Structure 1
């Protein structure tokens, strides 16, 4: 994985120095998943007394700052990024996303679908797509919010927009995006998927719904597909969990039992002390060591299953 920027490192050190209580992280998780609104979240934060620090300092450490998330510049000469539209007849009719390819790609390359969290195609997810292109993959990050005009530029509105949409149509859009990407003119026909939070769920869903098309799936802290679909999962799967993520982790024992019954090819890692969202380098939930280790495992996994 490309090394975090100095600003990202500085923010991580500052957040660590604040020693934010686990309760605040739990409230942020509720807020990020739409269980409470911003006002309730800020009111709860105001009730904390953390080493005499102000509400502004605590909230600044917890809320995303996407200026810190860029590890690969959109101007990097070794990659080329464009926006592409695809057909989604069972979803919203059409979809759109951020396609990043290695510059001067003469031969074919494996493809990886990158699936965002529950708030649309934000700068962090675009950066993940660029990281994959730097590693030699054709990466495509669709925006579920495209039918409503696309990611609005802030997570609060993006979250509200995504919650207003029919989930089954969003799911169909990502299935259509996977099919479109696998058929890309420069594709080797090998297709991987990596997703975060909601995107982790979509990664599990695609592994269950399109087992013949998905050659490798990497869900980061995502819940499984519905039980009726889980019997279809054979892998290969590489699953990343955060130790402090009780909401997602509660779904794992049942899912693992089904994977074992399926004789599925899977490996799961739990990152000690990590918070939900630990790979996202725009907030204080970011854990540099765990993000680095999990990403290297992801690249190794993709190399094994997509480049072999």
Structure 2
């Protein structure tokens, strides 16, 4: 279990979380974000208290150590012929597969990061999956431009500078790469958060025959022209206070219903976008653990 950032979040006004969401998604710049936070000091909150609650502290996010005896983590290269060419991801195997013959199989799960590159939280999510018996692969979209730079601000700027269509092709290539792992059982799952949730929705629409189970966390849907392709199984996880993403759901759900897609959606009341990320004050432990238990059960049902 991770250290919870939730107790601190109870003293932070909701507008601060809303401003952080706008800042994290490029709606406002850092100067505007910090200026807005400064207005809250009048109610007794210091800038330090506010930023420590809102900005990720990745020391809080490690639930499974990279040295855990039950897993083995490495970095692996793959080629994206229609994207940025040579790419890299974080591969985590259950220990039982290490050194085992190719006849030993396991399902594979692609883990997709937010809009800032492969940060420590996402790597930990990959390790959590491997700890549960899955082959997990977490690509770093920033590898072609030097990789995750070690902080989210620079990572966000780097990712925003990249070609969106090429990035999507890189994730499609990553999905196909890991599905073909010698110890894959042939079943591919995908889980992603924020931008990664969008990517998982995009994969469900772009390669529906190749994706056996999709779990987007607070992700916007694929382009309208692609949504008709989504057949599922897909489990969608939403944060109750996340109006930016939630506003896109009714139209998306209407398409899923019309096409009789195999889907289930959960909306967790009174939590913010990013509630699964245990490195910030947005983290909601009870809802995050429930959403994660549902994710694991979904993957066990459709991938094993």
Normalising by structure 2, we get a TM-score of: 0.97
Return the match for 2:34 from 33, 42, 48: 42
Aligned equivalent of 2:200? 203
Aligned equivalent of 1:14? 8
The Cα of 1:57 is off from its aligned counterpart by 1.0
Deviations 1:26-55 (A, max 9, x none): 000011112212221111000014751211
**Do residues 73 (structure 1) and 70 (structure 2) align?**
no
Q: Which runs of 5+ in 2 are unaligned?
A: none
5 Å-filtered alignment, 1:259-274, equals 259-274=256-271
Aligned equivalent of 1:252? 249
Partner Cα separation in structure 2 for residue 169 and residue 182 of structure 1: 20
| Distance 1:217-1:53 versus aligned 2 partners, 3 A rule | same
SS class of match (1:104): helix
**Do residues 180 (structure 1) and 177 (structure 2) align?**
yes
SS class of match (1:46): helix
Q: CA RMSD in A?
A: 0.9
The Cα of 1:12 is off from its aligned counterpart by 2.5
User: RCO higher in 1 or 2 (8 Å CA, sep ≥ 6)?
Assistant: 2
SS class of match (2:280): coil
Length, aligned pairs only: 299
The Cα of 1:278 is off from its aligned counterpart by 0.2
The Cα of 1:150 is off from its aligned counterpart by 0.3
Deviations 1:241-298 (A, max 9, x none): 0010000001000000000011000000000101000000000000000100000000
The Cα of 1:21 is off from its aligned counterpart by 1.1
**Do residues 276 (structure 1) and 273 (structure 2) align?**
yes
**Do residues 93 (structure 1) and 85 (structure 2) align?**
yes
Q: Which runs of 5+ in 1 are unaligned?
A: none
**Do residues 153 (structure 1) and 147 (structure 2) align?**
no
Give 4+ residue runs of structure 1 displaced > 3 Å after superposition: none
SS class of match (1:111): strand
SS class of match (2:204): helix
Aligned equivalent of 1:213? 210
Aligned equivalent of 1:61? 53
Of the structure 1 ranges 54-63 and 270-279, higher mean CA displacement relative to structure 2 is found in 54-63
Aligned equivalent of 2:132? 135
The Cα of 1:104 is off from its aligned counterpart by 3.0
Aligned equivalent of 2:25? 33
The Cα of 1:153 is off from its aligned counterpart by 0.2
| Distance 1:180-1:43 versus aligned 2 partners, 3 A rule | same
Residues 20 and 50 of structure 1 are in contact (CA less than 8 Å); yes or no, is this contact kept in structure 2? no
Partner Cα separation in structure 1 for residue 94 and residue 219 of structure 2: 28
